[in-house]
Structure 1
């Protein structure tokens, strides 16, 4: 039986592991390689790593770091950051990465989705949409760590991305990033109806109850979190953590009972 995926989301800045709030003020929380090793021990479902410097600096992906992450990872690994061409994507896959997340590159050149999916299979092509509420209502996609509006309607782009071969869509709420007070269900309810490929949600998880609410609401889905899996307690002490097998069964309880 298919089940939801519980996915730690790691941000890389200056080769270190950081956490942001609303995509701002990255706070150093440790070494990314060490975090991967700990998540290995905790037998996580999947890991997503975003290099938040690459696109902003118009830099090549850090292949050396990607290779180190892939070598250490005993779980499916998704990497995002600075990938603009099929050749870059193929090089990253050759290092042992299972999925590549695209954002600004496919917003500028949507055909890249089709080009990569035809080479490696659509299951490996992930489209990440960083979405923020507009002041006067509605939603907008942003790139470059939330600094640049893509000028693209998220609902229309999701439809286009799926037609071009996107294998998964990650919806990341800029407004909820690092706040740890729950997901933007107003946004997710609207988008869920439109997404026919696997969907992963990110931005807002502050407790296991928040993860459970997503699963109860949407069923088999990817639920990603950053702060929840690197901080612990009210004072946000840095501690890499992940739900135990028993905790995960409780998260999936309603899903199994209703199947």
Structure 2
């Protein structure tokens, strides 16, 4: 086993790194490139950039940020928000992204997942699910940055995403996002037990120990952290230490980052 991945998630609006609660009430944190470079030096395994307002303009505006990051950071980079076509995906991949994440456009036209997976490989296609609880053991997929109902059941959609060719799933709990109350393990476990591809847990991390509950309780293959890193609640080292103490395999730091 290669070990779980610890991923830094950076939501971006314009030129700024921002953070909110339940994907709303966005506050400026700082320069996304500076924060990403800091996390790289700490030994983060991957970076996720999300264009927080892409759905408003129906395009991804992170091309410059991606190019700048690719020059200084040599770990996998996923970019999402506003990817609506093969051309959009290709533009980001050419500028240095390793993967693209898609939510809204896939809900509108599921075939886009297959088209990108066939063109660039499933390893480049991350299916993003923004999930909100609607009952006991039931969640609905939301689109447009967590603002719009889709009417799709999360588990049914997760199964379909696998069939369409997605390589992994970025699973965000809207109910927990930004609350620092910990990951929604019921949601993570439900999806992870339904699909054979890796599941990245996102939304709710409040302390280093939460990585353990996401992996042991939720069966996540990776965790995405935002608030705890941006506001220095804990470091990447703290997360690795918590995982190792619980007997969870983590990936070694890259020599470049170290």
Partner of 1:206: 206
Residues 162-181 of structure 1 correspond to what in structure 2 (within 5 A)? 162-181=162-181
Q: CA deviation at 1:215?
A: 2.2
CA distance in 2, matches of 1:3, 1:219: 13
5+ unaligned residues in a row in structure 1: which ranges?
234-240
- TM-score between the two structures when normalised by the length of structure 1: 0.89
CA distance in 2, matches of 1:219, 1:136: 19
Name the CA shift for 1:167/1:209 in 2 (closer, same or farther; >3 Å): same
Q: Does 1:4 align with 2:4?
A: yes
Q: CA deviation at 1:219?
A: 5.3
Name the CA shift for 1:232/1:247 in 2 (closer, same or farther; >3 Å): closer
- TM-score between the two structures when normalised by the length of structure 2: 0.90
Please identify, of 65-74 and 202-211, the stretch whose mean Cα deviation from structure 2 is larger. 65-74
Q: Does 1:146 align with 2:146?
A: yes
Tell me the number of residue pairs that the alignment of Structure 1 and Structure 2 aligns: 248
Please identify, of 124-133 and 179-188, the stretch whose mean Cα deviation from structure 2 is larger. 179-188
CA distance in 2, matches of 1:18, 1:56: 16
Contact 1:172 1:203 in 2 (8 A): yes
Partner of 2:248: 255
Q: CA deviation at 1:46?
A: 0.4
Partner of 2:236: 243
Partner of 1:236: none
Residues 1-259 of structure 1 correspond to what in structure 2 (within 5 A)? 1-134=1-134, 138-218=138-218, 221-233=221-233, 242-244=235-237, 248-252=240-244, 253-255=246-248
Q: Partner of 1:26: helix, strand, or coil?
A: strand
Q: CA deviation at 1:111?
A: 0.7
CA distance in 1, matches of 2:94, 2:75: 16
Q: CA deviation at 1:164?
A: 1.1
Which whole-Å deviations, capped at 9, do the CAs of 1:189-222 have from their partners, x for residues lacking one?
Answer: 2222102101101011100111122222355611
Name the CA shift for 1:170/1:63 in 2 (closer, same or farther; >3 Å): same
